[in-house]
Amino acid sequence: MSITYDYKGRSVVITGGAKGIGLAAAKRFHSSGANVSLWDMDEGRLNEVKDNFSGKIDTQVVDVTKWDSVNAAAENSFKSIGGADILVNSAGIAGPNFKTWEYPIEEWMKVVDIDLNGTFLCCRALVPFMRENKYGRIVNIASIAGKEGNPNAAPYSAAKAGVIGLTKSLGKELADMNITVNCITPAAVRTEIFDQISQEHIDFMLSKIPIGRFGTVDEIANLITWLSSEECSFSTGGVFDISGGRATY
């Protein structure tokens, strides 16, 4: 049974919101009374989600790697849902699997740009509103790969390690402003991101999880909604594992 938090009157922006973890979190927030804005590059998927969503939501077509796109989406979301009390940075890609010395340079840049730089740009755009409002919750989706480093996935591992570092820095900067910044480090969760990686790498990730299965998007959404709640008031700059026992620290 899922715990329900009271998000009535709260506004939530979720990047990568058209599928996977982002969409699962959106459903949880919406069912708890929040005003939700989904950001994603995939306009077709956004329209499909909006048409089938059990209630009213805002959607914005956004390229999180472009400041102008992020800034414009922030302004549009503010008008539509009344601000941004909560930001969930879920947009990300895995990238293909190669040895580091063979990794295609353009693919490396793309992974880091979306997974790390995109998280920074979205924080940069929404934090000023939270500071003005004297309240905020930011949850960044990192990965266990950012703590341990997955072979044949160096840019993803490096970008997610960067997200952990960004979370800790920003959390300290906002610690006295009633704005918390935390991240979660899931082990592999079966979403469409699996389509980007090899079966060999999928098997490797599963072999590292003591529970013996992949996580579910609903399990991740449960943790996101707690970290975004008013009840989670004394944790900031934190890194929360949800790894089926894989984490070693």
Q: Which residues are catalytic?
A: 156
Q: Are 249 and 191 in contact (CB under 8 A)?
A: no
Give the DSSP H/E element, type plus range, for residue 203.
helix 199-207
Q: Are strands 11-15 and 58-61 parallel, antiparallel or unpaired?
A: unpaired
Amino acid (one-letter) located at 159: A
Contact 125, 83 (CB under 8 A): no
Amino acid at 9: G
Query: How far is Cα 111 from Cα 200, in angstroms, rounded to an integer?
Result: 20
The pair of structure tokens assigned to 129 is 């509103």
* CA–CA distance, 181 with 45 (Å, rounded to integer): 28
Query: Which residue in the block uniquely carries the two structure tokens 């991101």?
Result: 193
Q: Which candidate, 95, 93, 121, places its Cα nearest to that of 108? A: 95
Name the burial class of residue 9, with classes exposed (0-12), middle (13-18) and buried (19+) by CB atoms within 10 angstroms of its CB: exposed
Assess contact for 108 and 35: CB atoms under 8 A.
no
Q: Using the Cα atoms of residue 41, residue 144, residue 36 and residue 120 in order, give the sign of their dihedral.
A: negative
